[in-house]
Amino acid sequence: MTLPDGYSDVPAGKIAAVVTHLDMHAPLAFPPEAGGAWTVRHVAHPDIDWYRDLHARVGAEWLWVTRLRMSDAELAAIIRADGVEVHALEHGGRDEGLLELDFRNDGECEIVFFGVTATLIGSGAGSVLMNHALRLVWSKPVSRVWLHTCSFDSPRALAFYQRFGFRPFRQQVEVTDDPRLDGTLPRDAAPHVPLID
């Protein structure tokens, strides 16, 4: 369905985001990384509670909720699937960044989740994590890597991805239940997104 021109109402209790899909078809030179005490490690068999905690600490401010609403079995089936890789950026003895890669479609990789906690935004840790992701992805037999961002994300996210060589190719509008109204996230999460109940 294509939305009509003009305004479209979003029902109370729902939220709507404009989602921008971006992709890349060949590796480019990586932007320089800031110095910092960060390491990135592959988490071979992610623990469900560990994953949910890191996912929430990285994504609550941006209303990441799809994985928080899944049952343990549903979540485990995804993050432990063959062709899916989870990586963590560690800083100060604690995991502070999340990278999830999906190689299950031949010849391509989706960066499903990517981000660092609020304390590391603007520190250069995101560049370290993205450089790690792209080096890893392009070391495999892929011809395309893609991801998406939305209007709930940091206002710097789109420019960040474009700096690494991603180019927009599609936009969509996503409407879903507001996770701050059903208890999935605290009511004060993502104050940049109006809460209308």
Q: What is the pLDDT of residues 141-156, one digit of tens each?
A: 999 999 999 999 998 9
CATH classification of the domain holding 107? 3.40.630.30
- Indicate whether 23 belongs to any domain: no
Question: What average pLDDT does the segment 160-166 reach?
Answer: 94
φ, ψ dihedrals at 24, nearest 5°: -145, 140
Is the confidence at residue 37, as pLDDT, over 90? no
- Indicate whether 61 belongs to any domain: yes
Question: What average pLDDT does the segment 22-42 reach?
Answer: 82
For residue 102, what are the β-bridge partners?
84, 110
- Indicate whether 89 belongs to any domain: yes
- Indicate whether 22 belongs to any domain: no
**Domain residue limits at 74:** 43-146
Question: What average pLDDT does the segment 10-28 reach?
Answer: 94
Count the domains in the chain: 1
Q: What is the pLDDT of residues 83-134, one digit of tens each?
A: 999 999 999 899 999 999 999 999 999 999 999 999 998 888 999 999 999 9
Q: What is the pLDDT of residue 35?
A: 62
- Indicate whether 113 belongs to any domain: yes
Q: What is the pLDDT of residue 3?
A: 81
Model pTM greater than 0.75? yes
Is the confidence at residue 23, as pLDDT, over 70? yes
Q: Is-contact 7 185, C-beta < 8 A?
A: no
Q: What is the pLDDT of residue 106?
A: 95
- Indicate whether 12 belongs to any domain: no
Spatial distance between the Cα atoms of 49 and 127, rounded to a whole number of angstroms: 26
Please tell me what DSSP assigns to residue 166. -
- Indicate whether 130 belongs to any domain: yes
- Indicate whether 55 belongs to any domain: yes
Spell out the SS3 assignment of 118-129: HHHCCCCHHHHH
